[in-house]
Structure 1
Amino acid sequence: MLDLGNRVSIYQPEQEGLIYPELPEFDNFEDERRHRKERLVAACRAFDQQGFDYGFAGHLTVRDPERPELYWTNPMCVHFAKVKMSNLILVDHKGTVIEGNHAVNRAGFVLHANVHEEHPDIIAMCHAHTVYGTAWAATGLPIEPITQDACAFFEDHVIIGDEAGAVAVENHAGSNVAKAFKGVKAAIHQNHGLLTASRHSIEAAAFWFIALERCCQQQLDIAASGIQPTYVKPDRARYSREHVGSEYIGWLHFQTIWGQLVEDQPDMFD
């Protein structure tokens, strides 16, 4: 184990006075709520940049800091590129829209509400119908430690085979997904796609979704090549996961995306 002193990560500079992202601190719920909503919008815009749209499919959620039994989510039938502060909706675990004018995605409500209710520590969750994640989910296989990036998910994701391929529209349909998220940040729902969750931030949940999709693409590319990959040994995979797969690292990666979006897409704050 490396001695990090009072640092959270090896990536935090030891030298003082350098420009580097700092974790936010809040004086009140209002400021924290705005922060979470802004990052939720940014996560939706990031999903647009990645080409994760598929009609109305795809839903991202983050708990309200003051009323944790409620969560903010993207509105039904609004493209990721058009999600903004003013059209987010606040939903309870029964699917009732508490704030906002748009309807909620039924499947999104069922899956996310079950996870949020089962795990009070989970702050945010992401799901989208992506090309590579959906394709890899059809194999029913986990992500293997074939790259340093893939090691971020080593022993930190699960395969959900129950009710594989059946769309989650009934209230009980998300229960198996919820149970699967105990102690992990990601799940591959067989014949469906990818889900990520974070006990840290919407930024971490969103980045690890983007990263998991890339890992699925790498798995499929290597499988298509017919070449047998060399696996990272378990002890090295765990070491890499510790330093490149934490919630903090997911948050830190997203700061690059956030900076670009703030500069290029100021309409997301409308």
Structure 2
Amino acid sequence: MPPTFDSVADERLHRKQRLAAAFRLFSKAGFDEGVAGHITARDPEFPDTFWVNPFAMHFSLIKVSDLIRVDHAGTVVEGTWPVNPAAFAIHSQVHAARPDAVAAAHTHSTYGRALASLGQSLEPITQDACAFYEDQSLFDDFTGVVLDTEEGKRIAHALDDNKLVVLRNHGLLTVGSSVDSAAWWFLTAERSAQVQLTAKAAGTVVPIAEADAKQTYGVIGSEFLGWLSFQPIYDRIVAEQPDLLD
């Protein structure tokens, strides 16, 4: 079961450990694209601030001690590295619009970008894709690199109360009630995008019936299942790269 904490300090450390692990896992998955991409975790004591990766540090090198905390004005209040302006512009508005979202993930992953370039969302053609059935949206616009919080507000509005938003010509963004679930939703959304694009290139896909898609969503689309699915890969990356906890 998800852990409980005796203090905000313990909860903060837990979130930061999961965040550092998520960056290492995203790197192994090939989600790093130059300086693009960010995952954020709301601070449990100061919820109008969030922890995020330092600007221009490679995902594969990020440790707990490297993470920076940013306030609602984009000021780094803990840490010595600068913040990616796009990370602040997008994530500050997502966290503000979604008090339930402890974490948010966005990178320029290959298949997420391919799906976004088609202006498509995930279709219920596999069991795994049903985790997003009626729980995703499409931000059907692109006006360049997101550097303005007004654009971040538009993205947050498009996300609405869903766990996934496909940003047209840009990529994927997921949120979760834990760092674990937000990271897992991104990982499985990217794989589902890969399967969808591959299947459609090969032939005519067979969609899952609405009633079956809803039933499947009820089993695999919950925040608990998102959290649980992250646990084995968290254990694996910590065993492989224990320095991430430093």
Q: TM-score range by the shorter chain?
A: over 0.9
Matched, 1:80 2:56: no
Task: Tell me, in whole angstroms, the C-alpha distance in 1 between the residues paired with 2:41 and 2:50.
Answer: 5
Give the structure with the higher percent helix. 2
Superposition RMSD in Å: 0.9
Residue 247 of structure 1 and its aligned partner are, at CA, apart by 1.0
Task: Tell me, in whole angstroms, the C-alpha distance in 2 between the residues paired with 1:219 and 1:193.
Answer: 15
TM superposition score normalised by structure 2: 0.98
Larger Cα-atom Rg: 1
Q: How does 1:108-187 map to 2 (within 5 A)?
A: 108-162=87-141, 164-187=142-165
Displaced runs of 4+ in structure 1, greater than 2 A?
Answer: none
Q: What is the one-letter code of the residue matched to 1:155?
A: E
Instruction: Give the aligned partner of residue 215 of structure 1.
Output: 192
Alpha carbons 1:165, 1:190 under 8 Å: kept: no
Q: What is the one-letter code of the residue matched to 1:233?
A: A
* Cα shift readout 1:82-140 (whole Å, capped 9, x = no counterpart): 11011100001211000001000111110000111122221100000011100110111
Instruction: Give the aligned partner of residue 72 of structure 2.
Output: 93
Task: Tell me, in whole angstroms, the C-alpha distance in 2 between the residues paired with 1:49 and 1:86.
Answer: 20
Distance verdict in 2 for CA 1:182–1:191, change over 3 Å: same
Instruction: Give the aligned partner of residue 82 of structure 2.
Output: 103
Counterpart secondary structure, 1:81: helix
Instruction: Give the aligned partner of residue 206 of structure 2.
Output: 230
Q: What is the one-letter code of the residue matched to 2:180?
A: E
Q: Which runs of 5+ in 1 are unaligned?
A: 1-21
Counterpart secondary structure, 2:105: strand
Which shows bigger deviation, 248-257 or 178-187? 178-187
TM superposition score normalised by structure 1: 0.89
Instruction: Give the aligned partner of residue 219 of structure 2.
Output: 243
Task: Tell me, in whole angstroms, the C-alpha distance in 1 between the residues paired with 2:124 and 2:150.
Answer: 33
Alpha carbons 2:98, 2:161 under 8 Å: kept: no
How many residues are paired up? Answer: 246
Alpha carbons 1:130, 1:213 under 8 Å: kept: yes
Task: Tell me, in whole angstroms, the C-alpha distance in 1 between the residues paired with 2:153 and 2:4.
Answer: 34
Task: Tell me, in whole angstroms, the C-alpha distance in 1 between the residues paired with 2:120 and 2:2.
Answer: 35
Residue 165 of structure 1 and its aligned partner are, at CA, apart by 4.9
